[in-house]
Amino acid sequence: MELLIPGLILVALMVWASTKIKKRAADAFEAEFIETETYSLQKPDGFLHVIGDEEHEFAAYSKEYGNGDNTGVRQATIEIDIFRDTNLASVLDSTRNSATTSEISEQTEMIVELKSEELANETSIRAFYKIVAEESSVYRLRFAVLAEHCDDHLRKMDETLDSFSVHTN
């Protein structure tokens, strides 16, 4: 009896802590508006924002994984890279050169939207880019999706690309 009461209290605390942890983990995958000094975008629901990514200015990945050969690969990723001391044409050329096929879907003097097919470790990926030129930098948003899951993420991809904007000084 002496151990029963402390044991029940311990179990209750563990259940409470577990519930809090699960709620926080689920909240991390909720839609979120991301705004920095230089850009903003709407992170779609089902994506986790990676804080402190060393490879990209911004990175997020989907909760879901691929199927079959892509079992350990996330279905979709979102990345923002900033290229300094370059121009829109250079970034566009390097982006197109890394793709197997590419097609410009929309282009203005300062913004290019591009669709491409890419291979990464023999995995077919569809990538959607929004490249925005600013005075001294070029911002490139990349929304990459495993080819077989492209239709599942079209709405999220459109919303993310539409929401991405660069703040000029």
Domain ranges, ordered by start, for the chain: 1-29, 31-166
- In this prediction, residue 128 carries a pLDDT of 95
Q: Could you tell me the end-to-end alpha-carbon distance of the chain, in angstroms, rounded to an integer?
A: 69
31-166, CATH topology level: Protein Transport Mog1p; Chain A (3.40.1000)
List, for residues 59-77, the tens digit of each pLDDT value.
999 988 888 878 788 899 9
List, for residues 110-150, the tens digit of each pLDDT value.
999 999 999 888 888 999 999 999 888 999 999 999 988 88
Say yes or no to pLDDT of 38 above 80. Answer: yes
Share the mean pLDDT of the chain: 86
DSSP 1-61: -TTHHHHHHHHHHHHHHHHHHHHHHHHHTS-EEEE-SSEEEEEPTTEEEETT-SS-SEEEE
- In this prediction, residue 7 carries a pLDDT of 73
